Amino acid sequence: MCIIEKKTIFVTCGATIPFPKLVSCVLSNGFCQELIQYGFVRLIVQFGRNYGSEFENTVQEYGGQKEDKMIPIERLGCDHSARQYTLMDGKLEVIGFDFSTKMQSTIRDYSDLVVSHAGTGSILDSLRLNKPLIICVNDSLMDNHQQQIADKFVELGYVWSCVPTETGLIAGLRASQTEKLKSFPVSHNTSFERLLTELIYS
């Protein structure tokens, strides 16, 4: 089932609102160096709609080289605008795409570690698939629910969280490689099912 042949970190910024700070941090030399040290050889970034050219600029700023390899777009659920690069003298492969229609299978099949923005959908996608997850809160959003939800999940020990800076992300990565998370409880609840059943058949 699992087709991870290369140790991969998957970064998701959410579909609609771009998260430039996170993109720039995960591509930074310091973070990539750390990734290579921990044995990661592939970085997949889902950067959000209408952010393709900025993504390319950021990669090139950090010395990324464009590669013309076949990307498994079918499996990743992305379209032909997906791009592949290499960073750190070819030691790290980078794949970038705007959006995936198969988020769950991308996480299941292509991720050893997930870094996600603090949207509940993305958080649940990873946790339900039992993937280790680092949440990065977008502090430039006006919505403080993301901060609350991140704090709550950290408090419960289901995820690590970090701020969108290079040192923040490195700290998160180190934690993920040395600490263990609590397992996320299953969502099926018998009492809730009983409540629904009683109501439906009353």
Partner 1 sequence: MKTAYLASLVLIVLTAYVIRLVTILPFFHPQTDTQRDTEDEVSVLRIQKPSKKPLKVFIFLGSGGHTGEMIRLLENYKDLLLNGSIIYLGYSDEASKQRFVDFIKNFTRCKVQYYEFMKAREVKANLVQSVKTIIGTLMQSFIHVIKIRFAMCGSPHLFLLNGPGTCCIISFWLKFIELVVLFVDSSHIVYVESLARINTPSLTGKVLYWLVDEFIVQWQELRDNCLPRSKWFGILV
Exposed e or buried b for every residue in 78-100, given b needs 16+ CB within 10 A? beeebbbbbbbeeebbbbbbbbb
Residue 196 Cβ vs partner 1, minimum distance, rounded to whole Å: 6
Contact 175, 119 (CB under 8 A): no
Contact pick of 124, 154, 163, 171 for partner 1 (by CB under 8 A): 124
Burial of 17 (0-12, 13-18, 19+ CB in 10 A): middle
* For partner 1, the closer CB: 70 or 199: 199
Contact pick of 20, 149, 162, 163 for partner 1 (by CB under 8 A): 149
- 192 interacts with partner 1 by CB under 8 A: yes
- 33 interacts with partner 1 by CB under 8 A: no
Chain residues 2-31 in contact with partner 1, contact rule CB under 8 A: 15-16
- 148 interacts with partner 1 by CB under 8 A: yes
Specify whether the backbone of 182 is left (phi greater than 0), alpha (psi in -120 to 50) or beta: beta
- By CB under 8 A, name the binding residues for partner 1: 15-16, 119-121, 124, 145, 148-149, 152, 185, 187-202
